[in-house]
Structure formats: structure tokens, C-alpha cells
Amino acid sequence: MRHILSILLENEAGALSRVVGLFSARAYNIDSLTVSTTEDPTLSRMTIVTHGSDEVIEQITKQLNKLIEVVKVIDLNESEHIERELMLIKVRAVGKDREEMKRMADIFRGRIIDVTEKTYTIELTGTSEKLGAFIEAVDRTVILETVRTGASGIGRGERVLKI
Amino acid sequence: MQISGAEIVVRCLQEEGVEFVFGYPGGAVLEIYDAIFRQDKFKHVLVRHEQAATHAADAYSRSSDKVGVALVTSGPGATNAVTGIATAYMDSVPMVVISGQVPSPAIGLDAFQEVDMVGITRPCVKHNFLVKDVSELAATIKKAFYIAKSGRPGPVVVDIPKDVTQQRAEFRYPDSVHIRSYVPATRGHSGQIKKAVNLLLEAKRPFIYVGGGAVQGRAEAEVTELVRSLNLPCTNTLMGLGAYPGSDRQFLGMPGMHGTYEANMAMQYCDVLVAVGARFDDRVISVPSHFLSQPKKIIHIDVDPSSISKRVKADIPIVGDVKLVLREMLEQLKQSGQKPEGAALEAWWKRIEEWRGHDCLLYAPSDELIKPQMVVQTLYDITGGQAIVTSDVGQHQMWAAQYYKFDRPKQWLNSGGLGTMGFGLPAAIGAQLANPHAQVACITGEGSIQMNIQELSTAKQYHTPVKVLALNNRYLGMVRQWQEFFYGTRYSESYMDALPDFVKIAEAYGHVGLKVESPADVEPALREAFSDKLKERLVFLDFRTDQSENVFPMIQNGKGLDQMDLPPHMRDIQQVPFENNRDYGNMC
Ligand SMILES: Cc1ncc(C[n+]2csc(CCOP(=O)(O)OP(=O)(O)O)c2C)c(N)n1
């Protein structure tokens, strides 16, 4: 099953590679990984999307907790959460495609953030699924380039991940 | 007053009460060596290979309650140390390894003798540091010691660039360490402990399974009290040997691949298993599903939550310091005033005695060939069971574990997790330095000893009078055994041709060498080695042992605990399956 783990860790050199190394050394999967500092500059927050059986996820969580720099780990799947991913997608936009592209971007609540005579660059946010759906929806041959951030997740409502 | 980074390193080690630093110099650590030269609070032990520095530091720690310290130079010195670091990591041994690094400005430029030590050791350390600023050096070393010895212990590497050892700073050693992201568990959850106590009291066929965590956590008194007060049967893993006295009636021997018949059967057919600092390693439980095919409840106590339910799901997990958890268990047991049901326990013991009655460690004696088991038994007798025994890896290691009965923890030192050949001799040196008055014996094979035989030189320099017992079967015996079992006796590269004359080697290094070729000479030779006359000398005993002897019982990969290959005199017994409820009516 797909899980989305939120990790608070010390914002120190090498911390990221320790987390990534743990996944590769123990042959766990990383589907996506997003990391940046938080409002507290001594802390980084990482979101890892992974998949595996319950036992595997339990081990991943325990092993992550064992890393000295890891302050806290939660599995966002355990309660309601919101997740977002950002995609920048550059498409060919000429002739009638231009109008069509604009319409598609609107339907998906995307924003066209760069325009040339022949291209649009569209910014889209949403769940991974939604971004995938956009790619499915447009004619593949017009896609010139895509770049995605991987998911960021946060618990709904009062639930916070803090130290 | 400002002092150099190198002097800071030395001062930190002094503050930690370090007695010995095992190491080897080189360009990147010359400043530190210079600072060591100018002090006399701790002693530096010059090994002959950095792998030996880490093994010696490791065994120094395993045989005492201190943190082992190794010091190596950058590049090749650092990589040579990695095997020893990984060995300590697998066996949860507290150790601090200081490695030199090329000067900061040269890092990343493929400088002479540069290697990314932090990167290389990341998967096999508890934690590691690259010190970038001399002002952080003291605090980092303090943290390193704290991390190494707290929680589940392990090795910590501190990599120090040469320029950092040259820069100057004020020396301030912190009194304590607080790392907000590292809070090792101590006390177990009382509610869980209560549940465990109740379950144990209801057990009809209880069994206590004790691992290396009880040795590292110094829980031997608590383990012994629990086992004795409730009259429970008990097993110690390879890493746990000595946590419960090996010569005691309630000890059933070691479990697992080369465990005893009685320990394996009891482990398979118990109804409540208490795992104490043991992690269901694959050499103990090869196939979890087979193990769990006999329903049993599992109480698992460990300081490391990730060891719980990793291979075998625990019914009652208890995360905490094993010593503290057991203390609370004992306290609760006392308060309840209850004991497990006597009749059921008696029936269980009766069954265990039947298993034990087969004497699975019996071997065929010989007048012509030296049986390796007999060498270990004789060592046990001659040393009165008191020696500190180190071993290498192979058949001799298993015979040492099976036939030397360890009554104290920290008396048996071997590489259980990584299975590192070359561990035995440097480990014996480290253990002898930690225990100058103890008898230290290294049980090894002719294959293993050659992996760090150069340490005979270190032993000479520091007058460590260890006794090396080479069970010389001219084979990489354990490999040969597997080839016999699984590869149609095709002995691919397991025969050791062109062996050196070990007696001459020992003599060349300035030690005493004895060659023993007949069973009748085993005891006299050992007596001589341990005699007062040779008390101060390293004695290398080259026992020419039976080449064809194999280790029994054995559980092949993929087989259950009750599916052992048994020694010849027991071959029929195995066919009789254990009837779960034969003796117990419907109590199960
Ligand atoms: C460094 C290392 N290399 C290889 C092995 C694999 N191995 C395990 S046991 C063994 C044979 C050991 O032979 P020896 O030391 O002569 O002991 P014996 O089994 O004959 O008692 C080998 C090669 C190992 N454990 N460690």
C-alpha cells in the first residue's frame, strides 16, 4: 500500500543522505521525496512517499526513528491529510492546440506562467493523481517537458507535526 | 588558553577516562600522534593493521564496561578499519573510531589518501561525524561517546580533517549531552510489563531466550533471578552466552543453526517465549513461519524498537533497557506472589530432560585423531571455566560456543553478527589489556588466524600473554562442511594447502609455539601453555585436528528448529515428531 511519511529532522549536512541511504541499504522503495527547511531553520521537513506491506512500513518508521538526526516521524496515512505536488509542464501550443491547452489548464486549475509563440508553460498543483490525470488528458505529442516536485503532505485540522 | 585540535582530541579522551587507544599513525593524524606523545594519561597500542585496531578496541569494550577507542589515518587507514567497525555495529558494541581526514580545503578534490569516510561507514555505524570546525571538536567527541554507549550501543566514527587538528581553540568539555532528536528508551511501559507477567504466570511451557542485549545491558543478575525464581528453562544465543550461567541445569544450551537439540525443541514447542535482548536472527530462526507454526505467545524486550517484530511478530513488545524492564518484571512478580502452575511446568521439564537425555553434543572420541571438541572441553577443564575466550569464525567458533560453558557475561567474545574471520587474535589482545589478570584464550582455525596473524607482533610488543588455540584441520572447515552438505562434496577452494609452520611463526615473533598431533598430548600441551612457567608468554598451540569432523546439530537453511541434522547417535530420534499435548492433556 502507498504511504506518505512526514519526517522532521535536524537541518544538518548529511542528514538527507542518511535517510536516503537507509532506504537503499534496506531495499525499501522511495516513490517520491521532498525536503526543505521549516519555519524553524534548525529543522528540515521531509515527505517521503513509499509503498510496502504494513510490516515494511512499520520497519521503515522504526528505522527512521533510529537515525540520530530524525526528530519525529509520522505516517500521514493514519489519519486525514492533505497532499500536494507541483508540476511545471511545457507544451507545444500552436494553432487550435493553443486554445485547447488554455481550456485544459483552466479545467485543472492550472496557471499559464510562461508564454512564447509556440509554447505554454503551465503550473499545476494537486495530488499526484491529479497531475497524472492532466498528463493523460492532453495529447502526449504536445508535451515538451515536465518537472514534478514529489508530494508534500500535512495532516488535516488540528493535527500538527512539531517538536 | 587555546590549544590545538590534536590536543583537544587527547584531552577529550582523557576526560572520558580512556585507558587504551588502539591505532596506527599516518599523515592525517600526525598532529594527534604528536599530542599523544606528549601525554601519559592513556596508552597507545600500535597494532599492525587497522582492522586489528578496531577489533582490539571492540573486544576491549566487550570484555569490560568501557568504550573501545581506535585511531586511524585517512584513506587506506580508514578503509582498513571498516571491517572492524561493521563487526562492532552488528554486535552493538560501544566504540569510538577517530579517523584522520585530508585537510578541509582538499576534501572533495581526490587528494592523496582521501576517502569519504563518513560516506563509506554510514551504513555500518550508529552515527558518524565530520568535524569541520575546531570549536566543535570537543562537543562532537563528547556526543560520540554518549551515542556509542547509550541506548542500543554501537560504533561512532569521528572524522577529523588535518587542518582541524592544527587549528587552536579554547578547550571546554561539556558535562552532559542533550540531543533533542536522540532520546534512548530506558524504562519499559509498566502496563506492557504487567501483561507480560500475567502471560508468563499462565504459561504451561515457558521458555526464556536471552541474546546479546542482555550481555551489553548487563542484565545477567536479573535474567538469572527470573529464570531461577520461576524455575524456567533458558537458552542464550551465541551473543548471549554467559548472560545465564552455561553450567547451570536450567540452561539448555545455545539455540539455532548449531544449537542444542533440547534448546531448539524447547524454543519450537514452548507456549510462552520471553525474548530478552535477542532479535530472532536468521541463524536462530531460519524460517519464521515454521517457528510460528507451533502457536506460542511472544514477549519481546529490547532497547531497540526496530528489533521488535522485525522477523517475528511480538505479542507483547516492551521497549526499554533490558535490565530495568526485568527488574520491574521481577518486582511485579514478587508482588503478585504467584508462580506458574507447578504440574505443567514439571511435565515441561520432564519433556526437556528427555530431549536433553539424548546428549546431542556427544561425539565419537578417538585415540588417533584429535577431536576439536575435546580440545575445547580440555581448555574448559584446565581453565576452570574462567578464561575469557575469543574466537574467529568457522567450525571452531561453534565448537567453542558449544563446549566451553560460559558462566559470566563478557567472557565469550566473538563476531556473531558479521562473522568476521580475523577477529580472534586482535580481540584477545584487546581483552587481555582490559583484563590483565585474566586467562585469555583465542580459539581459531588455520584459515582465520592467517587473516590477522601479524598481530602476533602487537602481542609481543605489549606483552599480552594470550593462548592461541588453532584447531588446524587444513580446511576452511565450515566451508567444507557446507560443501559436503549442499555441494556434493565438491571442496572448491576450501582445502588449505601450503600452510606455514605455525610453531616457527610463533617463534619468529618471539613467542612459544607448540605443535600437538596426538589426542594424548592435548591435555599436557594445554597444561603447559597455562602453566606458571609460561604465564607471561603468548603460546601458540597448533592442534592437528580430525579433518572430517562436522558441527552438529545443524539446521539447514529453510528448515525449522525441530528439523535438525543430528549427530550419528541420534539419527533415529529425529523421526519422532513432538506431540504437542502428549504430556499435558488438553492444557495446551
Ligand atoms: C573475512 C571472512 N571471509 C570469509 C568468510 C567465510 N567463512 C566462514 S567460515 C570460513 C572458514 C573458516 O576456516 P577456519 O578459520 O580454518 O576455521 P574452521 O571452520 O576450519 O574451524 C569462511 C571462509 C568469513 N566468515 N569471513
Q: Which residues contact B450 (CB under 8 A, 6 or more apart)?
A: B500
**pLDDT value at position A97?**
87
**pLDDT value at position B584?**
41
In this structure, is residue A160 part of a structural domain? no
Top mutation candidate among B90, B238, B390, B393 for ligand 1, by most atoms within 8 Å of CB: B393
**pLDDT value at position A13?**
87
Residue that finishes a domain, picked among A27, A56, A78: A78
Asked if residue A98 and residue A62 are part of one domain, the reply reads no
CATH number of the structural domain spanning residue A103 = 3.30.70.1150
Asked if residue A67 and residue A133 are part of one domain, the reply reads no
Asked if residue A109 and residue A96 are part of one domain, the reply reads yes
Asked if residue A93 and residue A35 are part of one domain, the reply reads no
**Unique residue bearing C-alpha cell 548471549:** B240
For testing the chain B interface, which of A46, A62, A161, A162 should be mutated: the one with the most B CBs within 10 Å? A62
Residue that finishes a domain, picked among A45, A78, A111: A78
CB atoms within 10 A of CB B284: 28
**pLDDT value at position B577?**
62
Strands B43-46 vs B68-72: parallel, antiparallel or unpaired: unpaired
Asked if residue A94 and residue A58 are part of one domain, the reply reads no
Asked if residue A47 and residue A12 are part of one domain, the reply reads yes
Asked if residue A115 and residue A66 are part of one domain, the reply reads no
Cβ-in-10-Å burial (0-12, 13-18, 19+) of B464 comes to buried
**pLDDT value at position B126?**
98
Does residue A65 belong to the interface with chain B, where contact is any CB pair within 8 Å?
yes
Chain B residues with CB under 8 Å of A42 CB are none
Residues in chain B: 588
Residue that finishes a domain, picked among A52, A78, A104: A78
pTM exceeds cut of 0.80: yes
Provide the 3-class DSSP secondary structure of residue B160: strand
**pLDDT value at position B578?**
63
Top mutation candidate among B390, B446, B471, B476 for ligand 1, by most atoms within 8 Å of CB: B476
Provide the 3-class DSSP secondary structure of residue B45: strand
Asked if residue A89 and residue A74 are part of one domain, the reply reads no
- The parts of chain B modelled with pLDDT lower than 70 are 574-588
Asked if residue A90 and residue A67 are part of one domain, the reply reads no
In this structure, is residue A46 part of a structural domain? yes
> Which ipTM value was assigned to this complex?
0.93
Q: Report how many domains make up chain A.
A: 2
Asked if residue A32 and residue A13 are part of one domain, the reply reads yes
In this structure, is residue A95 part of a structural domain? yes
Q: Using a 6 Å CB cutoff, which residues line ligand 1?
A: B 392-396, 419-422, 445-448, 471, 473, 475-479
**pLDDT value at position B588?**
33
User: Are the C-beta atoms of A58 and B308 separated by less than 8 Å?
Assistant: no
Instruction: Give residue A147's domain range.
Output: 82-154
Asked if residue A108 and residue A63 are part of one domain, the reply reads no
- Please write the tens of the pLDDT for every residue from B217-243: 999 999 999 999 999 999 999 999 999
CB atoms within 10 A of CB B30: 16
- Please write the tens of the pLDDT for every residue from B431-457: 999 999 999 999 999 999 999 999 999
Provide the 3-class DSSP secondary structure of residue B506: helix
- Please write the tens of the pLDDT for every residue from B502-539: 999 999 999 999 999 999 999 999 999 999 999 999 99
Q: How many CA atoms lie within 13 A of B142 on its CB side?
A: 17
Mean pLDDT of chain A: 95
- Please write the tens of the pLDDT for every residue from A82-116: 999 999 999 999 998 899 999 999 999 999 999 99
**Unique residue bearing C-alpha cell 573501545:** B68
Active site residue B20: no
CATH number of the structural domain spanning residue A22 = 3.30.70.260
**pLDDT value at position B19?**
98
In this structure, is residue A163 part of a structural domain? no
Among residues B196, B190, B118, the alpha carbon closest in space to that of B158 is found at B118
In this structure, is residue A20 part of a structural domain? yes
Is residue B365 reached through a cis peptide bond, with omega within 30 degrees of 0 on the bond before it? no
In this structure, is residue A56 part of a structural domain? yes
Asked if residue A98 and residue A67 are part of one domain, the reply reads no
In this structure, is residue A51 part of a structural domain? yes
